[in-house]
Structure 1
Amino acid sequence: MSPSCVSKKAGLLLFPLLSMSAITPMTLYASEPPKVCMVLDKGGKDDRSFNESAVLGFNRAIKEFPVNKTSKFVEPKNDAQISQFFRSFATSAKCDLIIAIGYNPSEYLPDLASKYPNKKFLAVDTNLEGKNTTKNIRSITFAEHDGSFLVGAIAAMKSTTGKIGFVGGMDIPLIHRFETGYSAGAKYINPKIKISTAYVGITPDAWNNPAKAKELAHAQYNEGTDVIYQVAANSGQGVFDSAEQMNKKSKTKHYAIGVDSNQNWINPKVILTSMVKRVDNAVYLAIKDFSNETFNTDHTTFNLKDGGVDWAYDEHNKKFFTDAQLTEINGIKEKIINGKIIVPDYYKLDKK
């Protein structure tokens, strides 16, 4: 797009030698507010987890900032739809900031960003720093291994059988990062604890298969596990259902741990806590920066120190914890923040 074309579109008088770097998103669309479009991961906006958190941040930003009211988000059902949505957003829909929620949708951004260098992109939960050749992608990731260490410690504290479990959604490095932190946190409390792990599948459909997750949870509970951490998006509901069902026929109490959003309210009888990732804040702040013309295209990680990840403690789960346990949990949190506990990061492990 030449500067002269921009001046016609924006209704501004620009000098012919004005460089594109001097043109901001709001300048380009001075005649109307910029449009923001978001592609969710499979599992949909009602997954009570990652996608739902993103939608909360999106809706809040659309209400508060000067962006086009035709801004929208979509819920793909398959990979073909993800690709179609992105192409439409970059062309006919004329979106100015395009957001990808989750590992799978974010993988489409590098190619799209290189084809449309005048648009801005946000990848949530994936670091695309090395693929950001046109410098128009902001990458947001989270220190999920640190938050998972905390809930792993909680699982070990609350386990009476010495056996805990992990049910992941899609078998990918990102979810192994959760698993690694969780295992380390549990062993910090009880070095002899036994940890069972299982994954729903190897395709994105694994995020939306509660029946399979329930089957995996049942298998772990039946082998003596009494706490399971689910990192499976909408599939995770199956783990909650399994714990509730097991408690109806067993004297042993079975519990689960939620993820991404604060899921404590979903089933307060079985959910000990949730490992919260503030996806809502990541989306909200990106839209805020874009509307304020301060949108950078760096990689940023949200962690325990800034509240980007944490464990959820509220009226729904406070009955599970003694004052001594709260002191211990928050002490572990402070040690991680201060560097006194170094949580193993799956991305940095020697996996030979």
Structure 2
Amino acid sequence: MRRITRIATVGIASAALALSATACGKTSTEGKSEKKGPSAAIAYDIGGRGDQSFNDAAYAGLQKAEKDLGVKGKEAEPSEGESDADKVQRLTELARAGNNPVIGVGFAYAPAIKKVAEKYPDTTFGIIDDTSVTGKNIANLVFNEEEGSYLAGVAAAKATKTNTVGYIGGVEVPLIKKFEAGFVQGVKDTNPKAKVLTQYLTQPPNFDGFAKPDLGKAAAQGQLDKGADVIYHAAGLAGTGAIEAAAKAGKWAIGVDSDQYNQAGLAEYKDKILTSVTKDVSDSVYNLIKSVKAGKPQTGEVRYGLATDGVGLAESNPEFTKMTDVTAAVKKAKLDIVSGKIKVKTTP
């Protein structure tokens, strides 16, 4: 097995080094005495743990399961430029070791899970953000990202002073276009005169747009130069660069997946993180582990939406909560989405 460098929860500069590590999946328990009892594993997406966003949210769910359920958690990091074969090897090793469930963090794990789940029918496999691969022992943990993004659009449209806001997507794939669709709709429904600058960092099969903060920083700077004073990113680790650029310019950033205001690695910029579109990735991981331990494993589509607080808009920044006109508009929009009065688009 090739070895990896563990990615700690660090600041932007250190986290940007994450993909320099090569791995097929060293676990966090390697080198420690093995405990008896159930174990669960997560295999991280591009950027790895320490991205202050998507992967860290999954890790929080594993941590909670360790604490509340007495489950031993194992983690496996991605490698730079890895293939589907690398993912198959990683998931196979985790399943063979007896971990149950085994969770792939991100849609990129779909081909690998399809292959490995068939070989380990008694193991439950979870995949986050994908419904393309199905099976009797596969749980598809998915979210209504467009709904949370609509609320971000409402907030951005109310907070902007220049009538220009920005959206930065990591990689131009259908999932990330859902974020764009909801955000743009929320902006336009709230302020038809507002302009939305949209940019994607990379095109598949290049997934650096989820991994390299310098790309997010450059894109945000370009939008700032064009007058944007609120920038929303859906770019994982790369998006931390966008937050840095906005904050240093004294403008607002809107985070994604985790409540990025509370991420330790972004503490330097937190005052300018207006809010974040949250996805309850943490509870999706925890709930799947809990279901397996209870002997009633989740399978099929498990969807998290605004109505159940599976997605939402964070209110940690006190400056955001002081903006009563903004928060009132967000609250009304949430009620209208949940009631069905507002239908949020899933494509731009």
Smaller-chain TM-score range?
0.7 to 0.9
Pick from 222, 225, 228 the counterpart of residue 225 of structure 2.
222
Residue in structure 2 matched with residue 259 of structure 1 by the alignment: 256
Q: TM-score, normalised by structure 2?
A: 0.83
Contact 2:155 2:327 in 1 (8 A): no
Alpha-carbon distance in 2 for matches of 1:221, 1:48: 23
Task: Give, in angstroms, the shift of residue 296 of structure 1.
Answer: 2.6
Alpha-carbon distance in 2 for matches of 1:170, 1:319: 28
SS of the residue 1:48 aligns to: coil
Spell out, residue by residue over 1:116-170, the C-alpha distance to the aligned partner (whole angstroms, 9 max, x if none).
2222101111114xx324x110101001100000000110111111111111112
Alpha-carbon distance in 1 for matches of 2:189, 2:150: 9
Residue in structure 1 matched with residue 47 of structure 2 by the alignment: 43
Query: Does residue 1:115 correspond to 2:112, yes or no?
Result: no
Query: Does residue 1:195 correspond to 2:193, yes or no?
Result: no
Residue in structure 1 matched with residue 213 of structure 2 by the alignment: 210
Q: What stretches of structure 1 of length at least 5 have no aligned partner? A: 1-31, 248-253
Alpha-carbon distance in 1 for matches of 2:107, 2:188: 28
Alpha-carbon distance in 1 for matches of 2:223, 2:243: 13
- Give 1:1-352 correspondences, 5 Å limit: 33-67=37-71, 69=72, 71-78=73-80, 79-80=82-83, 81-91=86-96, 93-128=97-132, 131-133=133-135, 135-202=136-203, 203-247=206-250, 254-265=251-262, 266=266, 267-314=269-316, 316-319=317-320, 321-346=322-347
Contact 2:220 2:242 in 1 (8 A): yes
Contact 1:148 1:182 in 2 (8 A): yes
Aligned residues: 303
Task: Give, in angstroms, the shift of residue 191 of structure 1.
Answer: 1.2
Residue in structure 2 matched with residue 19 of structure 1 by the alignment: none
SS of the residue 2:306 aligns to: coil
Residue in structure 1 matched with residue 28 of structure 2 by the alignment: none
Task: Give, in angstroms, the shift of residue 34 of structure 1.
Answer: 3.2
Alpha-carbon distance in 1 for matches of 2:68, 2:121: 27
Q: Which amino acid in structure 2 is aligned with residue 86 of structure 1? A: L
Spell out, residue by residue over 1:317-348, the C-alpha distance to the aligned partner (whole angstroms, 9 max, x if none).
435643233222101111101111111122xx
Q: Which amino acid in structure 2 is aligned with residue 94 of structure 1? A: G
Which moves more between the two structures, 118-127 or 50-59?
118-127
Alpha-carbon distance in 2 for matches of 1:322, 1:162: 17
Spell out, residue by residue over 1:48-67, the C-alpha distance to the aligned partner (whole angstroms, 9 max, x if none).
10100100110110222243
Q: What stretches of structure 2 of length at least 5 have no aligned partner? A: 1-35
Alpha-carbon distance in 1 for matches of 2:111, 2:182: 24
SS of the residue 2:98 aligns to: coil
Distance 1:319 1:205, change over 3 A: closer
Runs of 4+ in structure 1 off by over 4 angstroms are: none
Distance 1:186 1:88, change over 3 A: same
SS of the residue 1:108 aligns to: helix
Contact 2:154 2:186 in 1 (8 A): yes
Spell out, residue by residue over 1:201-234, the C-alpha distance to the aligned partner (whole angstroms, 9 max, x if none).
1223321110011001111110111111011111
Which moves more between the two structures, 78-87 or 329-338?
78-87
SS of the residue 1:123 aligns to: strand
Contact 2:166 2:198 in 1 (8 A): yes
Alpha-carbon distance in 2 for matches of 1:42, 1:83: 15
Alpha-carbon distance in 1 for matches of 2:247, 2:61: 31
Identity of aligned residues (%): 33
Contact 2:247 2:273 in 1 (8 A): no
SS of the residue 1:305 aligns to: helix
Spell out, residue by residue over 1:24-73, the C-alpha distance to the aligned partner (whole angstroms, 9 max, x if none).
xxxxxxxx633311101011111110100100110110222243x3x301
Distance 1:166 1:94, change over 3 A: same
SS of the residue 1:264 aligns to: helix
